[in-house]
Amino acid sequence: MNSQQLFRRSRTRLALWYAGVMAGILGLAGLGIYRALIQANSAALEREIESIAGTLHDSLEPMLPPSADPTVVLQQIFPDLCVAGQVCAPQPTVIQRHTIGISDRSSYYIRLFDHHGDLLAFSPNQPLPLPQTVNPAPWQTLQSDSGTRYRQFTTILHSADAHPTSTDGHDHPSWGYMQIGRTLAPFDAEVRRIRWILTVGLPIALSLVAASSWGLAGLAMQPIYQSYQRQQQFTADAAHELRSPLASLLATVEAILRLPPAQQKDVPPMLQTVERQGRRLSHLIADLLLLTSLEQDTSPKSFKPCCLNDLIADLTEEFSELAAASDIHLAHHLPDAEIYVLGHESQLYRLVSNLMANAIQYTSPGGSVLVSLEARDSFAKPYGERMAIIAVKDTGIGIPAAEQSRIFERFYRVDSDRSRKTGGTGLGLAIAKAIAQHHKGHLTIKSDVGQGSIFSVYQPVIHPPVVRLEAQNPQDYYELNG
């Protein structure tokens, strides 16, 4: 399986996992919203029924007749109710509707029972069939022959003149029962509408989630794929860099072994070639190990205050002979006040020396290299932090703008032929950038072809360390250290 197939399969798995998790979340969220809406509508409907039943209950009880045959009084109280056992021919009027006291006659019905549970009167719009005896359960859900569901509430009625009577050994201190029912057609229609929205909306949402999952999986895999490509490129470049000195070394060793005894005088120069190639391999491996430790942050963080003034002055003196041999004017510009940063002095030394070596190598004879140091307030975050700026400016050949974003990559050379003549391996700038980042700083470049380059290193400034002398007694200690 090649890398493309591997990453495509990984992307597919990641997208499926993401889509599956999102489908589960959306499904549970949809079910929760559905249940919440149904319960909220159901509770609101029952509160409405209870409110109407309470209003009728409080209005009827003072007018309830204590007689055994209350049908005449009930017809006077409710002119549009049908009496049980009689032909129901109601003629509703505006007065009758207000007498009933129900806001929506097409949605509600009323039924009245005596204390034995026998039906006395009922609304003409009640669903059929309904039992002729009362069911004392407070809440019931009924369904008519047409399939319409009803929600029914039962409450007990008491008469002001009622007294307990005994029938079959049971006491009935109530006058009777009243049932208020409401059609659930609007409620069921709302439920169907919510189900339809979830049935149609959830697949659409899952389709969008699946499409976005594929795109997000691609975005998530892109840095990994790029890292994998860089690793492959690094492996190829490292193998290429190691192959040349190894081949030269092996060829030299084979030549030494084949020399006849009469030509032993040619062995020392060949051994020098072996030593040179061995040192090149050693330096290359050391650079790779240093770069790896910096990028993985595995080196011990025993940072100490480092004076950049002394570091630049020492490096300028060290590279002066190389610059003079190349007919290049090397100079430095340092401030009067000492500037300190926190870090590894050897690593900072390596950083600046790499920049100065590159500047000298790629500057034509008669040119100049200037190393300057200054401290300025930073305009980036954190605001107000003082930064030390080391600038290495040369008048060399410059770097094309298209290449400036890649010069910090490992083994990258703008001009491979020219770089091989100078003996570089393409790791100098990569190491310099890694050291700058390891010290909480950064490295920038500004270059124009034919006019030279400026490499700038930014590092946070610290206060200079206070030198405290050892005192023989506490009094001397306070005098020396304040």
- 353 Cβ neighbours under 8 A, 6+ residues apart: 315, 318, 319
Q: Are residues 317 and 175 in the same domain?
A: no
Q: Which residue has the tokens 């029924």?
A: 49
DSSP-derived secondary structure for 102-145: -S-TTTEEEEEEETTSBEEEE-TT--SS--SB----SEEEEE-T
Provide the domain count of the chain: 2
Look up the CATH number of the domain holding residue 33: 3.30.450
Domain membership of residue 244 (yes or no) is no
Q: 65 lies in a domain?
A: yes
Burial category of 369 from C-beta neighbours within 10 Å (exposed 0-12, middle 13-18, buried 19 and up): buried
The answer to whether 149 and 191 are in contact (CB under 8 A) is no
Report long-range pairs for 335-338 (Cβ below 8 Å, ≥24 apart).
335/309, 335/373, 335/374, 335/375, 337/375, 338/307, 338/309, 338/310, 338/464
Structure tokens at 427: 């790791």
Of the candidates 316, 332, 328, the one whose C-alpha atom is nearest the C-alpha of residue 361 is 328
What is the domain extent for residue 115? 3-160+169-191
Nearest to 307 by CA among 353, 332, 338, 349: 338
**Which pLDDT belongs to residue 81?**
77
Residues 318 and 182 in one domain: no
Per residue of the chain (482 residues), what is the pLDDT tens digit?
A: 566 788 888 888 888 998 889 889 988 998 999 999 999 999 999 999 999 888 888 887 887 776 656 666 666 667 777 877 777 765 554 444 444 444 456 788 888 888 888 888 888 888 877 888 888 899 999 888 888 899 999 999 887 665 544 444 444 467 889 899 999 999 999 999 999 998 898 889 889 988 998 888 888 888 887 777 777 666 666 666 667 677 777 777 777 777 777 777 777 777 777 777 777 777 777 777 777 777 666 555 678 889 999 999 999 999 999 999 989 999 999 998 899 998 888 889 989 998 999 899 888 899 999 999 998 877 655 555 788 999 999 998 888 887 887 787 777 666 544 444 445 567 778 888 888 888 888 899 898 888 889 999 999 888 776 544 444 444 443 343 43
Query: What is the number of alpha carbons within 13 Å of residue 10 lying toward its C-beta?
Result: 14
Q: How far apart are CA 80 and CA 122, in angstroms?
A: 9
185 and 308 inside one domain? no
Domain of 329, CATH number, reads 3.30.565.10
Q: What is the DSSP letter of 375?
A: E
Query: CA angle, 135 as apex, 133 and 136 as ends, to 5°?
Result: 125
Residues 6+ apart with CB under 8 A from 413: 419, 424, 426
Q: Give yes or no: residues 14 and 134 share one domain.
A: yes
Q: Would 331 be classed as within a structural domain? A: yes
Q: Cα-flanking dihedrals φ and ψ of residue 464, to 5°?
A: -60, 140
Cα separation, 418 vs 337, whole angstroms:
40
Q: How far is CA 116 from the centre of its chain?
A: 68
61 within some domain: yes
CA distance 390 to 459: 8
In a domain? residue 283 = no
Residue 265 lies in a domain: no
Q: Are residues 133 and 8 in the same domain?
A: yes
Q: Is 169 left (phi over 0), alpha (psi -120 to 50) or beta?
A: left
Same domain, 16 and 142: yes
pLDDT at residue 330, rounded to an integer: 92
Residue 384: left (phi > 0), alpha (psi -120 to 50), or beta? left
Mark whether 174 and 310 lie in a shared domain.
Answer: no
User: Has residue 277 been placed in a domain?
Assistant: no
Residue 50 has a pLDDT of 92
Report the candidate in 303, 323, 305, 327 with the shortest Cα–Cα distance to residue 315.
Answer: 323
Tell me what pLDDT residue 35 has: 93
**Are 186 and 310 within one domain?**
no
pLDDT on residue 28:
92
Indicate whether 313 belongs to any domain: yes
Q: Which residue has the tokens 């100490």?
A: 304
